[in-house]
Chain A
Amino acid sequence: MIIKNKELTDEMFLPAKSRNSTEQISRPANTYWQDVWRRFRKNKAAFTGLILITLILLLAIFGPYANHYGYDEQNLSRANLPPKIPILERFPWIGFNGVDINGVDKYEESKVTGYYWFGTDNLGRDLWTRIWKGTRISLYIAFLAATIDLIIGVAYGGISAYYGGRIDNMMQRIIEVLVGIPHLIVVILLILVLQPGIISITLAMVITGWVGMARIVRGQVLKLKEHEYILASKTLGAKNTRMIWKHLIPNSMGPIIITTMFTIPTAIFTEAFLSFIGLGLQPPIASLGTLINDGYKLLRIYPHMLAFSAIIISLIMISFNLVGDGLRDALDPKMRK
C-alpha cells in the first residue's frame, strides 16, 4: 500500500493480525460428556434403544390411567377377551379385532361393549392396565436394585482400592467367597425366607449383586491411583474424602454407568424368573414376571395373555442392552471394535 500524503495515522500502528489464526480454537471445546452424547447419538441402534426406553417408561407411568379399568378390577362376565383396538379392528390380520384364535368374536359372544386394548385375563381384569402397572413395578425393582448395587459397590470397591494394604486384602477375600456362590441360589433361598415382596426381591438381588460393581470400581481406582494428577493433588494436601469424591469417582464414572446399564436388564430378568418359579409377587399386584407366568397357564387357548407381556419384557431387555453397548462405545472409544 502506498502512503500518499506521508501522513501517519494511528491505524497504521495497530498490531498486525496473527497469521496463524486458522489454528486458533474459535469455539469452546466440547466437554467429555458432550463428546459422549455426540458419539452415542451417532449409534443408531443405541439411540433407538434410548427412545424405546423413554417410550416404555412414559407408558409405564401414564399407561394405567389411559382407560378407566382398574388393575385389580375383576369381572367374570368379561373374562378371556382377546385384544380389540378402535381403529385397528378394521384390519383383521393385525389381530386387534376381538376375535380369538378359533375365529369367534368373543366380544359379541359375551355381549361386551367397549374396548380392551390388550384384552382381559381369566378373571376379567384389563390387561392393558395390568401390564403397564406390572412394567412399572418391574422397572421400579430393577432401578432400586441397580441404585443400591451402585452405592454399595462404589463404596466397597472405592474403599478397598483406595486404602489398599491389609484392608484391601481382607475385603477382597470376602468378595472372592461371594463370587464363588451361585448368585441365583442365594436369591432363591433368601426369597424363601423373606417371603416374596417388592422389598425382599430387591434385597435378595442386591445381596450378591453389588460384587460385580465393587470389582469394577476397585480395578478402576487402582488404575487411577497411579496417575500424576492424584500425586499432585496429594502434594497439595487434598484430604481422602476430597480425593475420592472429586478425582477418583468422577473419573471412574464411565465403567460405573455401563455396569449399571447392564444391571437393570439382569434385575428385570431375575424378577421375572423368580415369578416364574413361583417366588414372585403375590396377586393382585402384578409384575411382568407374574403376568408372563399367568399367561403361560392359558397359552394354548388365549395366546394374547402371554404375548404382550412377553413382547414388552423383551423390548425392555433389548433396549437396555443396546443402550449399554452404545454407552460402552461412546464412553470409551478405544474399546470399540
Chain B
Amino acid sequence: MLVTFWVIATFTFFLMQTLPGSPFNDERLSESQKERLYERYGMDEPVPLQYITYMKNIFKGDFGVSFQYDGRSVSNIIGERIGASAVLGTQSLIVGTILGIILGIIAALRHNTSIDYGAMVISVIGISVPNFVFAGLLQYWVGVRLQWLPVAFWEGFEYSILPTISLSVFVIATIARFMRTEMLDVLGQDYIVTARAKGLNGFSIIIKHSLRNAAIPIVTILGPMTVSLLTGTLVIEKIFSVPGLGEQFVKSIMTNDFPVIMGVTLFYSILFIGIVLIVDILYGIIDPRIRLSGGVK
C-alpha cells in the first residue's frame, strides 16, 4: 500500500522533472526574473534535494503552489474543486447502483424471456458506448433540442441531472450484468427452495434471501467502478462545464501547471488506494466466510 503510493509519488516527480517546456517560458521575462521565479518555486535546487522536500511536503499534505493561479496552494485548489465532483460521483454511484440492481433482478427473475434479453441488450450498450458519446447525445437532444434541462454549468440540482445520467449509465450496465449472474446463481440454491417451501411470498424471498446474498460480490466491483467514475468525471465535467476536480485537471494539463497535475494525480491515487483497502475490509465484514478462511488478500 505505502509502497504503491511511494512508487506513484516518485514516478510522478521524475516524470514532471523530465517534462519538456517550463511554465515560465515567457519571452517577456528576463533571465534574472526567471531565476527569481525558479528560486521562489524551489526549482533551482539540485534534483535530489527537490525530491526530499517534495516527499516531506506530501506527508504534511502540502502539494506545493500552483504556477497558474498565483500563490494558491494545490491543496486549496483541490479542496475548492472537490465538492462538485464528489456530488456528481456520489449521485451517479447511488442512482447507478439502485437502477442496476433493479434491472439485474428483473432480468434474473424473467430469465430467458424477452425482458431478460432486453435488459442485457441495454447493459451491453451501456458498457460499450463511451460516456462522452452518451453525454453528447443527451446534451444535444434533451438540452439543445428539447430544452428541458440546462446543458452546462453548476448552479443547482437540475444542472447535475444530465451529467449524473451520463456518468451512471456505465454503473447501471455493469451492476445489472453482475447482479443478473449472481441472482441466477443464488436463485438455484437450496435455501431459496427451502424458503419457498416454508411458504414465504416471492417478494420477501427476493429481498431477504436472494438480494442479500447476491449483493455481496458487488462490493468487489466497487474498486474498478470508482476508477471508471473518476475517468468519467474528467470527460463529463469538461463536456458539461462542471467546476469539479476533473475539469481542473484537464485544464491544468492544457496549461502545463505541473504542481496541480502532480497534486491531483496523487490525490486520485490516494483515493483509489483507499477505496481498494476499504473494499477489502468491507468484504471481510459482509461475508464472514472469507475472514474465517483467512482469505483477505
Residues of A bordering B, CB below 8 Å: 45, 176-177, 180-186, 188-190, 192-193, 195, 265, 269, 272-273, 276-279, 292, 295-296, 299-300, 303, 306, 310, 313-314, 317-318, 320-322, 325, 337
Q: How far is the CB of A262 from chain B (nearest CB, A)?
A: 10
Complex Cα spacing A314 to B130, Å: 7
Those 6 A-B pairs whose CB atoms lie nearest each other, nearest first: A180-B4, A317-B128, A318-B128, A310-B133, A314-B129, A277-B250
Stretch from B201-209, B213-221, B265-273 forming part of the interface with A: B265-273
Residues of B within 8 A of A300 (CB): 140, 144
Stretch from B157-165, B230-238, B285-293 forming part of the interface with A: B230-238
Per-residue contact bits, chain B 1-16, to A (CB 8 Å; 1 contact, 0 not): 1011101100110010
Residues of A within 8 A of B132 (CB): 272-273, 276, 292, 296
Contact partner, B269, options A176, A185, A265, A337, Cβ 8 Å: A185
Chain A to chain B contacts (Cβ below 8 Å), 28 pairs: A45-B124, A177-B4, A180-B4, A180-B273, A181-B4, A182-B268, A183-B227, A184-B227, A185-B8, A188-B265, A189-B11, A192-B15, A192-B253, A265-B128, A273-B132, A273-B235, A276-B132, A276-B238, A277-B238, A279-B253, A292-B132, A299-B136, A306-B136, A310-B136, A317-B130, A321-B128, A325-B124, A337-B185
Q: Are A181 and B269 in contact (CB under 8 A)?
A: yes
User: Is B125 an interface position by the 8 A CB rule?
Assistant: yes
> Which B11-30 residues have a C-beta within 8 angstroms of A?
11-12, 15, 18-20
User: Is B127 an interface position by the 8 A CB rule?
Assistant: yes
Q: How far is the CB of B268 from chain A (nearest CB, A)?
A: 6
Residues of A within 8 A of B125 (CB): 318
Q: Are B129 and A317 in contact (CB under 8 A)?
A: yes
Q: Are B231 and A184 in contact (CB under 8 A)?
A: yes
Between B12, B133, B230, B276, the greatest number of chain A beta carbons within 10 A of the residue's beta carbon is seen for: B133
Per-residue contact bits, chain B 22-51, to A (CB 8 Å; 1 contact, 0 not): 000000000000000000000000000000
Closest to B271 in A: A182
Complex Cα spacing A180 to B11, Å: 13
Q: Are B276 and A318 in contact (CB under 8 A)?
A: no
Q: How far is the CB of A267 from chain B (nearest CB, A)?
A: 12
Per-residue contact bits, chain B 124-167, to A (CB 8 Å; 1 contact, 0 not): 11011110110011011000100000000000000000000000
Q: Are A193 and B238 in contact (CB under 8 A)?
A: no
Q: Are A337 and B181 in contact (CB under 8 A)?
A: yes
Contact partner, A181, options B7, B18, B128, B250, Cβ 8 Å: B7
Q: Are A184 and B230 in contact (CB under 8 A)?
A: yes
Q: Are B4 and A276 in contact (CB under 8 A)?
A: no
Complex Cα spacing A314 to B135, Å: 13
- Binding site secondary structure of chain A: helix
Complex Cα spacing A277 to B235, Å: 7
User: Is B184 an interface position by the 8 A CB rule?
Assistant: yes
Contact partner, A303, options B8, B12, B140, B254, Cβ 8 Å: B140
Q: Are A273 and B231 in contact (CB under 8 A)?
A: yes
Contact partner, B129, options A45, A277, A318, Cβ 8 Å: A318
Closest to A270 in B: B231
Q: Are A195 and B20 in contact (CB under 8 A)?
A: yes
Residues of B within 8 A of A195 (CB): 20
Q: Are A181 and B181 in contact (CB under 8 A)?
A: no
Complex Cα spacing A322 to B127, Å: 11
Complex Cα spacing A272 to B231, Å: 12
Residues of B within 8 A of A269 (CB): 130
Closest to A268 in B: B130
Residues of B within 8 A of A320 (CB): 128
Closest to B265 in A: A185
Q: How far is the CB of A225 from chain B (nearest CB, A)?
A: 22
Q: Are B276 and A180 in contact (CB under 8 A)?
A: yes
Complex Cα spacing A157 to B231, Å: 28
Complex Cα spacing A306 to B137, Å: 9
User: Is B261 an interface position by the 8 A CB rule?
Assistant: yes
Contacts A182-B230, A195-B20, A276-B238 given; indicate if A313 touches B130 (C-beta within 8 A).
yes
Residues of B within 8 A of A176 (CB): 4
Residues of B within 8 A of A190 (CB): 15
Residues of B within 8 A of A306 (CB): 136, 140
Q: How far is the CB of A335 from chain B (nearest CB, A)?
A: 10
Contact partner, A182, options B19, B128, B129, B272, Cβ 8 Å: B272
Q: Are B253 and A278 in contact (CB under 8 A)?
A: yes
Contacts A182-B230, A278-B253 given; indicate if A177 touches B133 (C-beta within 8 A).
no
Complex Cα spacing A198 to B279, Å: 36
Q: Are A189 and B238 in contact (CB under 8 A)?
A: no
Q: How far is the CB of B200 from chain A (nearest CB, A)?
A: 25
Complex Cα spacing A269 to B198, Å: 50
Complex Cα spacing A134 to B219, Å: 38
Residues of B within 8 A of A292 (CB): 132-133, 136
Residues of B within 8 A of A192 (CB): 15, 19, 253, 261
